[in-house]
Structure 1
């Protein structure tokens, strides 16, 4: 089977790049630096469905991305979650949080309507993150 990104993720996100296992996406909500890893494995909804080596790879990619985001955005806290109630395709959210953000300390889901990035802010964020994670990018 050929991997296809879930349509909801296609609508809500921008492509940032690709690690060896996962696509790196940026959520189109400028209120939070919010990135998503999506393992390129068709039909996978849970991490335990990945092969053992892929689970290790996904964890390493997630930790690498989380540390890069925490460093470049000076996070107070990183929220990392694989919920999948709306989008069943396995994907892991990496959300930079600040004690001063508008919904702290609550989760971000369903709290505020998304505020889309301007073209220039989107491009700037993608470039900044691509530079920070360049060591793992394969494209």
Structure 2
């Protein structure tokens, strides 16, 4: 049985925990990477209990989420040299508030369509995952 990640009463959704790996803690969010090597795909998860929508956050937390999303987006663009950064907070499958930041290239899997629900995830090789995570950490 999966045990939820807990921090100050916060519990990470089990699906997010299962499908992602830790990268780094930011001021408000835990940054995680989606275990799908088809796209460089990071996820920011505000560590606030019961947050489903951005408007559930305090105004200060909303500003911090915006700052951290911009920081991660810029870093991902610099690291990957991608053509486009996609960001989104959908929450249709996992209700817990989280923001996807995905690096896209023309010609990548499903370009220009969305990454959500397309094909089967291709898990990272362990060494590639560690290398990419360390690069992101170093740049942040």
The TM tier, using the shorter chain, reads over 0.9
Matched, 1:67 2:68: no
**1:72 offset after TM fit, Å?**
0.7
Choose from 37, 42, 55 the match for 1:48.
Answer: 55
Q: For residues 68-126 of structure 1, what are the alpha-carbon distances to aligned partners after superposition, in whole Å with 9 as ceiling and x for unaligned?
A: 00011001000100000110000000000000202100001111200000110110011
**Residue of structure 2 in register with 1:136 after alignment:** none
- Number of residue pairs matched? 133
- Between the aligned partners of 1:114 and 1:132, the Cα distance in structure 2 is 26
CA distance in 2, matches of 1:56, 1:102: 33
Unpaired segments ≥5 residues, structure 1: 134-139
The alignment's TM-score, normalised by the length of structure 1, stands at 0.94
Residue 46 of structure 2 is matched in structure 1 by 39
Q: Where does structure 1 differ by over 2 angstroms across 4 or more consecutive aligned residues?
A: none
Which residue in 2 is equivalent to 1:109?
116
Match of residue 101, structure 2, among 94, 98, 101? 94
Match of 1:127 in 2: 134
Aligned residue in 2 for 1:8: 15
Greater RCO, 1 or 2 (C-alpha within 8 Å, sep 6+)? 1
For 1:86, what is the secondary structure of its paired residue? coil
Residue deviations 1:5-63 (CA, integer Å, cap 9, x gap): 10000000000010010000000000100000000001000000100011000000000
SS in 2 for 1:15: strand
